[in-house]
Amino acid sequence: MQGKDSNMTKGAVTAELRGLYAIWYRELLVFMREPSRLVGSIIQPLLWLVIFGTGVGSIIEPGTISGVDYQQFLFPGILVMTVLYGSLFFGLYIILDKRIDFLKEVLVAPLRKSTMFFGKALGGSTDGLLQIIILMVLGAIFFGIHFTLLSIILTFIIVSLLLISITSLGLAIGSLMDSPEGFGLISSFAIFPLFFLSGALFPVRNLPDWLKTVVMINPVSYAVDALRSVILGITGYSLLLDFSVLIIFTALTVITGTWAFKRIKL
């Protein structure tokens, strides 16, 4: 009896894992099927690096920001920006899927709601990771970023944590909102402060205290800081603090996302 029970549980776990795989795989298939989407998602960050990076770089003495060019200094911040915009807007698809019956096809499946949520979140995160990999390759070729095996691995870990948390946040907002317009409003309110107050565009060290405090409250700052430290060797906070904050932030957003997804209204 005992043995039979545990067998059934194993079967149930396998079923959930296959469901998770299906939902993840679908996001990836759809993403890969339209190369224009991938290219489009790379162009905005590249414009920032090339135009904003060159523009601001031209008024800063080379090497004055911790010994690197502004463009290189900007690079980790642009990775974070790519994650923020790409992943948060991933939640928008849930609203669009609500308008047709596509989401129902998933919701009627005999899977746990948390499995569905994780499938979506991992799918969105994988899309984001592909963009980041392309940007890293371009960074190494055209922007003089030097990667080592260790820095590549650490970059992946930091970016993945941020991807999962921001995707979860996007999915949470998408689950609770009914209209794309509402989503746009809420997410703009979320993205701009998260991005501008993260130190992605400027060093935090010389900021006035009030702004420094705001940056410290923003969890995204720790991703920027960690990436800058791993990729460029510029240290702000300690890596231990960075990772602790990111892990807690990821846990909280995943819990929030799962909670919101379970309450999804059709």
Which residues are near other proteins by CB under 8 A?
A: 15, 18-19, 21-23, 25-26, 29-30, 33-34, 37, 93, 96, 99-102, 104-112, 266
CB of 264 to other proteins, least distance (A): 10
- Rank residues 30 and 255 by Cβ distance to other proteins and give the closer one: 30
Beta bridge partners of residue 68, listed in sequence order: 65
65 phi/psi in degrees, rounded to 5: -90, 95
Burial-class residue 186 by CB neighbours within 10 Å (0-12, 13-18, 19+). Answer: middle
Nearer of residues 15 and 56 to other proteins, judged by Cβ: 15
Q: What does the DSSP 8-state code read for residue 146?
A: P
Are 82 and 230 spatial neighbours (Cβ–Cβ below 8 Å)?
A: no
User: Cβ of residue 251: shortest distance to other proteins, in angstroms?
Assistant: 25
To which residue do tokens 């010994």 refer?
A: 67
Q: Report the alpha-carbon distance of residue 240 to residue 150 in Å, rounded.
A: 16
Nearest approach, Cβ of 18 to other proteins (angstroms)? 5
| Entry field: residues in the chain | 266
Q: Which is nearer to other proteins, 79 or 173 (CB)?
A: 173
Q: For residues 205 and 262, which CB has a smaller minimum distance to other proteins in the complex?
A: 262
Supply angle C-alpha 195, 196, 198, rounded to 5. 65
Shortest distance in whole angstroms from residue 221 CB to other proteins:
31
CB of 32 to other proteins, least distance (A): 10
Q: Are 165 and 249 in contact (CB under 8 A)?
A: yes
CB-nearer residue toward other proteins: 29 or 50: 29
Q: What share of the chain is helix, strand, coil (3-state, %, to 5)?
A: 80, 0, 20
Q: Which is nearer to other proteins, 129 or 197 (CB)?
A: 129
Q: How far is the CB of 100 from other proteins (least distance, A)?
A: 5
